[in-house]
Amino acid sequence: MPYAPEHDEIPNPLRPGLRAESAPEPCAMVIFGATGDLARRKLVPALYNLAVTGHLAAAFGIVGVAKSEHSAEEFARDMREAVGTFSRTKPIDPEIWQDFAAGVRYVSGSFDQPETFARLRAQLEELDRTRSTRGNRLYYFATPPSAFPTLLKGLKSAGLINPPNDSRFTRVVIEKPFGRDLASARALNRLVLETCDERQVFRIDHYLGKETVQNLLVFRFANSIFEPIWNRRFVDHVQITAGEELGIEGRGRYYEEAGILRDMIQNHVLQLVCLTGMEPPVAFDADAVRDEKIKVLRGVETFETPEQVARNVVVGQYTAGSIGGMDVPGYQQEKDVAPGSRTPTFVAMRLNVRSWRWDGVPFYIRSGKRMPKRATEIAVHFQPLPHSLFGEGATQPNVLIARVQPEEGIALRFSVKVPGERYRPRTVSMDFRYGATFGMTVPEAYERLLLDAMRGDQTLFTRRDEVEAAWKIVDSILKVTGSPEFAPPHPYPAGTWGPPAADQLLAQDGRAWRQL
Amino acid sequence: MSENFGEPISAGAAPRTRDSGELTLKFDTGFDLRRIERLLQQARERGGPTPESVCTLNLIAIFFNAGQYERARETLEVAGQIHPCRLVVVIGDPLIEQESLTASASVSRSGGAITIERLVLSATGRAVRHLESAMMGLLRPDLPRVVFWGGRPHGDLMRRAVESADRIITDSGARPAAYLAELAKLLAKGAPIGDLAWARIFPWQGLAADTLDLPNLREHRGNIRKARVVCAGAVGAEGLLLLGWMQSRIKRLQIQILAEGESEAEEEIVASSTCPRPAPMGLGQVKALEFEAPPATFTVRREKGILVANVKGDDDGYCANRVRLPPETPGRLLALELKLLSGYDDLYAQAAQAAAGLLASVRT
């Protein structure tokens, strides 16, 4: 458990130099929205896998809270089925499951009823007695954001939140989206911080739990050769792509409210911008890392006028098309999507980060649904040669690519001589692939993040100011693109990399998107 | 000392049948490195176009008879899958009079790439003198050299190979406890030794340290006076290292180590399970660690696959934590040690020096 000693405290004599990671403290985890998709697909399988790998405290229990009427046994049975379907380790080990399921409880009830929280308290106290969970609580809000205020009030009124300096910890994990614009994010932060201290709040962005995203920090700050060239003197531009083949998968109601800017840009993609652009932190701890990330967000130029948005941002919406040889419907034909909807399912934009390191280096980012394939990557394009010895256009500028998914890894593109008498350069790729280099199974993002939350390590969770700074950027776009005066999203056929306007955005700078 | 003292390095591993893709050459007077390299190239090309080769280290495993290699084989394979490598296995048996020299080559593939390039060099009789130079010539340049020392030293054989290693990994838990004294001498000279017995006690160290990080127990940190380790059946290297670690961390600590009860039978833990489990508690392994910081007494004890930390004298019977021991798949400990590819492990060296000092007071 990361822990900062008080001034007058004697340091732990057994801690220095240990290679063993801290085990999480005993705790009871409460999942609000326990019968929902997130709990079934991600949270419970992640917890089970932590038990399989020996990372979960044996003194652990889960309380599921949801409206549906279930007994604890029925809930545990549902969870077993979910683990059987969605866990990365299969089949289920009966002995581990038996121990795991012995700590599963369920409370049914409405979140706005005090009785629900009274029953929750009774279950938690029972877990403290029977599973030695020692009064430590991890509350996970796997609910729509509209329920967050009610949950916080309910927990507070029932006395279920201990102060941050209490020997029994209380931590609250809040799923994205954290607010739907800057004003609502600020209001939610105020509400959260009326109930908890910032040290108790874990705003989750599962992208940060991915090994390859974390590897960006290692790649940048554990290799001395890249640092001298990681700046405006050597980098021409940066391209960040986060594309998905999938459409909205029956989540029309959610997506109509969110759109690509809230769903992907405000959180995942801006986090990638931060990790690419940040300065080296003074230490590898939660606040030092987040201090540097926020400087990048604060440096991003926001758009002040509709003209600036029109010049730098392209929004699109998919129409019917074909992906992987299968016909797929257009966005407006999806369930729960309004005819004539103006919700963007694609965005491409040009950002400028005002800093000594990056000013003048465009960060082109694009993200969309129903792209030809699933691909998330960061490509750092270095400047072209000042003068080519081998003929005009004979060489391509170097590109360093960090692939987040799939085929996680890093590639460097550079020129070599084609064998033969003449000096004919060709660009080749030097490729590092995670899967091939390390033969271990990579844990799911939620495993890492849940473990960190249990340990109290906030490094991979977003801080209040970070969330608000990201919203400030996205808000400046939403205000314009959401207005009826702004042109509707450009249509693009499903199975393409967005509308032609996205290509023009780079073409006007004399550049082009990478072919993925 | 019993042959099954401690946990053998190949714990839980069934001997693997040899890969069908293994190619073998016999030599008469000495190894021919070019032919061995060609043999490896043939092994790479088997089954279609040659995929890329990924290699993060040279893993050298030294044995003094073929049986030792068979027992350690799966351990090396699993570790090699996690840390792609050129695995050079050297088996020298000088006790067999007849001279013989063989080399075999094979590869393992994972994720579309070759992740283990495996070369096995065997020699018997006087021909063992060729092994070291052949092995040195087959290492990949610019990559760390880690020696997995699975056998017993025979005079100067392999001395140069061991001395040039970035790291030497052994398993003192599979040897008589007195072996720690030999290790301590080498560590004092700066030998970069890693030890699977040390990796085996990581969970004990972690839980003991975690307990002192609990807010209501931090007050006891400066007051630890006594420590006691209980081993299963006999005092073993893990117990000595654990106590040695405590002693090296806390000044003026009164210490005690003793043996109690028996080791666990394999079938007690390895039930009909689909998941890897903690290995059963072997002879000489740690059953319990106690340390006193009056009025509190901390106990970490093993209950089958779970470590339980309790505190008495503060809040009576207070259970500080229970953690599952990590699954004990073959090679996991070696893979854990391979995370550190070079350099000197200070904490281990201090613990081993202290453990060696304890040996005199222990009847093993």
- Tens digit of pLDDT for each residue in A11-28? 899 988 888 777 788 899
Q: Is residue B181 part of a domain?
A: no
Q: Is residue B174 part of a domain?
A: no
In this predicted model, what pLDDT tens digit does every residue of A354-396 receive, in sequence order?
999 999 999 999 999 999 999 999 999 999 998 888 887 788 8
Reading the block at residue A432, the tokens are 């590092």
pLDDT at B56 (0 to 100): 86
pLDDT at B320 (0 to 100): 66
Could you tell me if B306 lies within 8 Å of chain A, comparing CB atoms? yes
In this predicted model, what pLDDT tens digit does every residue of A106-142 receive, in sequence order?
999 999 999 999 999 999 999 998 888 889 999 999 9
Looking at the complex, report in whole angstroms how far the Cα of residue B123 sits from the nearest Cα belonging to chain A.
31
**Given an 8 Å threshold on Cβ–Cβ distance, is B213 in contact with A56?**
no
Band of residue A439 on the pLDDT scale cut at 50, 70, 90: low
CA distance A53 to A130: 23
Band of residue A425 on the pLDDT scale cut at 50, 70, 90: confident
**Given an 8 Å threshold on Cβ–Cβ distance, is B111 in contact with A436?**
yes
**Range from A201-205, A314-318, B17-21 carrying the lowest mean pLDDT:** B17-21
Looking at the complex, report in whole angstroms how far the Cα of residue A123 sits from the nearest Cα belonging to chain B.
19
Please, which residues 48-107 of chain B have a Cβ atom closer than 8 Å to chain A? 52, 54, 56, 80-84
One domain for residues B34 and B135 = yes
Check pLDDT > 70 for residue A336: yes
In this predicted model, what pLDDT tens digit does every residue of A236-255 receive, in sequence order?
999 999 999 999 888 888 89
pTM, two decimal places: 0.78
In this predicted model, what pLDDT tens digit does every residue of B186-209 receive, in sequence order?
888 888 889 999 999 998 998 899
In this predicted model, what pLDDT tens digit does every residue of B21-48 receive, in sequence order?
789 999 988 899 999 999 999 998 887 7
**CB-based contacts of A113, cutoff 8 Å, min separation 6:** none
Check pLDDT > 50 for residue A288: yes
Q: Which domain holds residue B59?
A: 23-165
Helices H, strands E: what count in chain A? 16, 17
pLDDT at B259 (0 to 100): 87
Looking at the complex, report in whole angstroms how far the Cα of residue A157 sits from the nearest Cα belonging to chain B.
26
One domain for residues B117 and B238 = no
Please, which residues 152-211 of chain B have a Cβ atom closer than 8 Å to chain A? 202-203, 205-210
A439: closest CA among B114, B69, B107? B114
Pairing between β-strand A170-174 and β-strand A137-141 as defined by DSSP bridges: parallel
Task: Please list every residue in chain B whose beta carbon sits closer than 8 Å to the beta carbon of residue A167.
Answer: 214-216
**Count of Cβ atoms closer than 10 Å to residue A236 Cβ:** 17
**Range from A287-291, A342-346, B85-89, B304-308 carrying the lowest mean pLDDT:** B304-308
Range(s) of chain A covered by CATH 3.30.360.10: 209-386+436-444+464-507
Burial bucket for residue B122 (CB in 10 Å: 0-12, 13-18, 19+):
buried
Q: Is residue B322 part of a domain?
A: yes
pLDDT at A482 (0 to 100): 87
Q: Are A25 and A1 in contact (CB under 8 A)?
A: yes
CA distance A48 to A62: 11
Check pLDDT > 80 for residue B4: no
CA dihedral A122, A124, A129, A133 (to 10 degrees): -170
One domain for residues B127 and B275 = no
Residue with the larger pLDDT of the pair B233 and A330:
A330
pLDDT at B263 (0 to 100): 66
As a whole number, the mean pLDDT across chain A is 90
Task: Please list every residue in chain B whose beta carbon sits closer than 8 Å to the beta carbon of residue A134.
Answer: 319
pLDDT at B12 (0 to 100): 30
Check pLDDT > 90 for residue B8: no
pLDDT at A7 (0 to 100): 40
Band of residue B157 on the pLDDT scale cut at 50, 70, 90: low
Pairing between β-strand B57-63 and β-strand B145-149 as defined by DSSP bridges: parallel
Reading the block at residue A22, the tokens are 């801290």
CA distance A25 to A6: 20
Query: What is the CATH architecture assignment of A27-175?
Result: 3-Layer(aba) Sandwich (3.40)
Angstrom CA distances, A163 to A149, A344, B273, B357, stand at: 18, 42, 43, 47
Task: Report the interhelical angle of B237-249 vs B202-213 (nearest 10°).
Answer: 30
Looking at the complex, report in whole angstroms how far the Cα of residue A177 sits from the nearest Cα belonging to chain B.
33
**Given an 8 Å threshold on Cβ–Cβ distance, is B203 in contact with A20?**
yes
One domain for residues B132 and B203 = no
Q: Is residue B173 part of a domain?
A: no
Check pLDDT > 90 for residue B53: no
One domain for residues B145 and B261 = no
What is the number of structural domains in chain B? 2
Could you tell me if A450 lies within 8 Å of chain B, comparing CB atoms? no
Q: Is residue B10 part of a domain?
A: no
Could you tell me if A3 lies within 8 Å of chain B, comparing CB atoms? yes
Q: Is residue B96 part of a domain?
A: yes
**Given an 8 Å threshold on Cβ–Cβ distance, is A436 in contact with B215?**
no
Nearest CA in chain A to B78: A439
Angstrom CA distances, A411 to A37, A81, A435, stand at: 35, 39, 14
Angstrom CA distances, B245 to A403, B201, B347, stand at: 42, 10, 8
Could you tell me if A23 lies within 8 Å of chain B, comparing CB atoms? yes
Reading the block at residue A323, the tokens are 């992906």
pLDDT at A343 (0 to 100): 94
Dump strand ranges (E) for A49-167: 60-66, 104-108, 137-141
Check pLDDT > 80 for residue B114: yes
pLDDT at A55 (0 to 100): 83
Check pLDDT > 70 for residue A45: yes
**Given an 8 Å threshold on Cβ–Cβ distance, is A51 in contact with B82?**
no
pLDDT at A355 (0 to 100): 95
Task: Please list every residue in chain B whose beta carbon sits closer than 8 Å to the beta carbon of residue A15.
Answer: 209, 212-213
- Alpha helices, DSSP H only, in A168-244? 182-195, 211-221
Band of residue B233 on the pLDDT scale cut at 50, 70, 90: confident
One domain for residues B142 and B72 = yes
Query: What is the CATH architecture assignment of A209-386+436-444+464-507?
Result: 2-Layer Sandwich (3.30)
Check pLDDT > 70 for residue A303: yes
Could you tell me if B323 lies within 8 Å of chain A, comparing CB atoms? yes
B69: closest CA among B87, B47, B43? B87
Task: Please list every residue in chain B whose beta carbon sits closer than 8 Å to the beta carbon of residue A94.
Answer: 274
Band of residue B268 on the pLDDT scale cut at 50, 70, 90: very low
What is the CATH classification number for the domain harbouring B351? Answer: 3.30.360
Q: Which of A81-106 are b and which e, b meaning 16 or more Cβ less than 10 Å from the residue's Cβ?
A: ebbeebbebeebbebbbebbbebbbb
**Given an 8 Å threshold on Cβ–Cβ distance, is A19 in contact with B202?**
yes
- Name residue, tokens 């901390």: B298
Reading the block at residue B218, the tokens are 């931090």
One domain for residues B108 and B222 = no
**Range from A399-413, B158-172, B330-344 carrying the lowest mean pLDDT:** B330-344
Q: Is residue B29 part of a domain?
A: yes
CA distance B223 to A136: 27
One domain for residues B58 and B124 = yes
Task: Please list every residue in chain B whose beta carbon sits closer than 8 Å to the beta carbon of residue A54.
Answer: 203, 278, 323-327
pLDDT at B78 (0 to 100): 86
One domain for residues B207 and B349 = yes
Check pLDDT > 70 for residue B316: no
CA angle, A50 then A55 then A57, to 5°: 100
Could you tell me if B218 lies within 8 Å of chain A, comparing CB atoms? yes
**Given an 8 Å threshold on Cβ–Cβ distance, is B321 in contact with A57?**
yes
pLDDT at B5 (0 to 100): 33
ipTM: 0.82
Could you tell me if A9 lies within 8 Å of chain B, comparing CB atoms? yes
One domain for residues B220 and B265 = yes
pLDDT at A242 (0 to 100): 95
Residue numbers of A annotated as active site = 268
Could you tell me if B322 lies within 8 Å of chain A, comparing CB atoms? yes
In this predicted model, what pLDDT tens digit does every residue of B238-250 receive, in sequence order?
999 999 999 999 9
Using CB atoms, pick whichever of A9, A23, A91 lies closest to residue B210: A23
CA distance B253 to B241: 15
Q: Is residue B211 part of a domain?
A: yes
> Over pLDDT 70: what percentage of chain A?
97
pLDDT at B269 (0 to 100): 41
Using CB atoms, pick whichever of A14, A436, A437 lies closest to residue B208: A14
Q: Are A200 and A446 in contact (CB under 8 A)?
A: no
